[in-house]
Amino acid sequence: MNRRVVITGMGVCAPNGIGLPEYYNSLDQGVSGIRFQQELSDLNFGCHVAAKPYVSSDILNNYFTPLQLKGLNASGLVYGVIAGVDAWRDAGLEKAGKETPDWNNGVIFGTGILGVDKFREAIHVLDAGNVRRLGSTAVIQTMASGISAYLGGILGCGNQVTTNSSACTTGTEGVIMAYERIRAGRAERILTGSCSDSGPYVWGGFDAMRVLPRSYNDSPEKASRPMSASAAGFVPGSGAGALVLESLDSAKERGASIYAEVIGGAVNSGGQRSEGSMTAPNSEAVQRCIVQAVEAAAIIADDIDGINGHLTATAKDATEIRNWALALKRSGKDFPYINSFKDTIGHCLAAAGSLECVATVLQFKHHKFFGNTNCDDLHQEIAEVVDASRIPLETIPFQPKILAKASFGFGDVNACVIFKAMSD
């Protein structure tokens, strides 16, 4: 089967907005969710800024029962539940009844690591010989598939319920996995997304690698600078994004609103060969992934109006731009518009792909192309490939027909998905 697949619901728990309206307004106006973090300073990090959602107790009470909140100490799980439940509601879908799951609904919700703070808490409890104080929720808060299991239970999904994990590529890969399952007729609707924990125990390794910016501790909103000559490393972030993918037939049958169509995608790996490594992409693999996504979508490279890149504000930004140019055979003023949302939400690690997919799709609805707020000093190597007019500094009016979104993750793994505006 080759069924058409559309997006009928979205939700976010982002550093610069919880819920689609706030997230959209922040992206539109260039509002940053990157802030000074006192705990990073206290722990002698070189980088004292990060991006994480601030979830109030009032918000928590809208998604969790008092019993579920007891002992809850897994930030990524919280973010994922908020984003996932909101996406389901946005799609106009109901939870299954108490007796029988909905066999047509599934969950593919990824993470990189889950429940770090809960795991740390558990270590202290166990080391003190107090195993009975560990609590009954420690397992679900610390197992990687805890987020998909939690959402699957809340919604009553009887189709595939699983968790994928591919570092920074996780969220984009999940969209492609959901698309392929629905397209093949093995599900009608899948909630897909990804989440990432907050805090120093997640971000510490990156600070030790010296890949985080250290010269913007007094100006956090300027710290994340994708494609900029003054980029000094990525700002760590966290949160969750979620999308409901659904067969077009099902969406039409129930009169659902449609954000966009998913028309193809590709995933691959560079095998950590050539210049590819655990932390750097193999350029040939990146180009092949983009080309294969275009072919899978049955379009040509010239059809792409805009790109949301991975673009983390590191030395690899220029390499990524060259890879896009070579894969699409487009450069200068012929290059599509391109942006990175990491300027305002930081690099949300496993949550990055899903948060950025949501933002990419919002551009269809609002007829906009979001700007690059910290790129007023475009990197010279990028300027040699792409005309500066293709990298808008502020949000511009735009009516895209086809947008590409890609993620390139630790381990030399790649994913590229193609979205199309609904025309019929």
Direct distance between the N- and C-terminal alpha carbons of the chain, in angstroms, rounded to an integer: 20
Percent of the chain with pLDDT over 90: 90
pLDDT tens-digit map of 341-353:
999 999 999 999 9
Residue 307 parent element (H or E): strand 306-308
Q: How confident is the model at residue 122 (pLDDT cuts 50, 70, 90)?
A: confident
Q: How confident is the model at residue 124 (pLDDT cuts 50, 70, 90)?
A: confident
Pairing outcome for strands 368-369 and 337-339: unpaired
**Residue 135 in this model has a pLDDT that exceeds 80:** no
Q: Are 180 and 114 in contact (CB under 8 A)?
A: no
How many Cβ atoms sit within 10 Å of the Cβ of residue 382?
24
In sequence order, what DSSP letters do the residues of 232-264 get, joined into one string?
--PPBB-EEEEEEEEEHHHHHHTT----EEEEE
pLDDT tens-digit map of 253-302:
999 999 999 999 999 999 999 999 999 999 999 999 999 999 999 999 99
As beta bridge partners, residue 34 has 51
Amino acid at 215: S
Q: Residue 121's pLDDT is what?
A: 85
State whether residue 86 is helix, strand or coil: helix
Q: What angle do CA 108, 114, 119 make, to 5 degrees?
A: 150
Q: What angle do CA 330, 331, 335 make, to 5 degrees?
A: 75
Q: 281 is written with which tokens?
A: 């992409």
Q: 250 is written with which tokens?
A: 């099902």
Task: Specify the pTM.
Answer: 0.97
pLDDT tens-digit map of 61-114:
999 989 888 888 889 999 999 999 999 999 999 999 999 999 999 999 999 999
Assigned architecture for domain 5-253:
3-Layer(aba) Sandwich (3.40)
Q: Which of 316, 265, 269 is nearest to 291 (CA)?
A: 265
d(CA 289, CA 279): 18
CATH superfamily of 264-420: Thiolase/Chalcone synthase (3.40.47.10)
d(CA 35, CA 223): 9
d(CA 114, CA 52): 15
Amino acid at 234: F
Q: Residue 12's pLDDT is what?
A: 98
pLDDT tens-digit map of 179-205:
999 999 999 999 999 999 999 999 999
Q: Which of 390, 370, 387 is nearest to 32 (CA)?
A: 370
d(CA 193, CA 198): 17
d(CA 110, CA 303): 30
Q: Residue 123's pLDDT is what?
A: 84
Domain with CATH 3.40.47.10 in the chain: 5-253, 264-420
SS3 content of the chain, % helix, strand, coil (to 5): 40, 20, 40
Instruction: Pick 123 or 357 by higher pLDDT.
Output: 357
